[in-house]
A = this chain, B = another copy of it.
């Protein structure tokens, strides 16, 4: 699976590092807005041994169509900003290249663009592309169906400088139809990111807790997304769509299970 990366900020670098170290993907190129680091090799820059090309280009040097012609890819991964889509979107759709976008928020016109592109290729958009968080959201929705009488609270902890309420906590609250007052925001020191969904039963408590260790977690989410997207028909997907099939359980007859227990 050949990949191209749009964006090379802190998270872009962390994702590039995971891609380079994975056997599953070959990082062909990185495109960024800035001219700094132009034509540098990503493996060399990050100090990772790898024979993957991974050269850095400014978006002014080639159009996406030209770049893809010179160095074809199967998936384009976007950790840039809302505008990144303008650069590569049409070219990806024309060539049937899958798109994995981790942009936090798109305006309505960009969402419509994503939808048009998704008629011609597979597009995944997920603002928080970690497996852990997306798993937690689905699991929490299920537990709420099972026990609708529980009280649900969300506790999110981040470093002091992070402005109020993480996007992920808001997404959790939305998925569970909670009010914003059910999100408890802790800001202290250098905490990278903790999200806990607490279910209060009358006589027991269930906590679904996710702790981020580093930005590289997004890289593993990208690998999961890219791998699963390639099998799918054209369309616009979320991480939840890719995780959902794992929640379909066997309906083995109970008797058989007890026999072998």
Contacts and interface: CB of A to CB of B under 8 A. Distances in A.
A132 B187 contact: no
Q: How many copies does the complex hold?
A: 4
Contacts of A139: 139, 142-143, 208
Contact of A251 (B186, B215, B244): B244
Interface stretch (A1-9, A87-95, A235-243): A235-243
Contact of A184 (B185, B189, B219): B185
Interface in A18-48: none
5 contacts: A132-B199, A204-B220, A207-B209, A208-B208, A241-B254
Interface stretch (A64-72, A77-85, A149-157): A149-157
Interface string A178-199: 0000001111111110000011
A189 B217 contact: no
A189 B208 CA distance: 15
Interface of A: 111, 114-115, 118, 125, 130-132, 135-136, 138-139, 142-143, 145-147, 150-153, 155, 157, 159-160, 184-192, 198-217, 219-220, 224, 235-238, 241, 243-244, 246-249, 251, 253-255, 257-258
Closest 10 CB pairs of A and B: A189-B200, A188-B200, A151-B188, A203-B217, A184-B184, A203-B216, A207-B209, A204-B217, A205-B211, A190-B202
A172 B190 CA distance: 23
Contacts of A160: 151, 200
Contacts of A241: 254
A200 B246 CA distance: 19
Nearest to A237: B254
A21 to B, nearest CB: 10
A159 B216 CA distance: 15
Contacts of A207: 207-211
Contacts of A253: 235
Nearest to A211: B205
A93 to B, nearest CB: 15
A210 B220 contact: no
Given A146-B135, A236-B254, A204 B212 contact: yes
A189 B131 contact: no
Contact of A213 (B115, B130, B191, B209): B191
A244 to B, nearest CB: 5
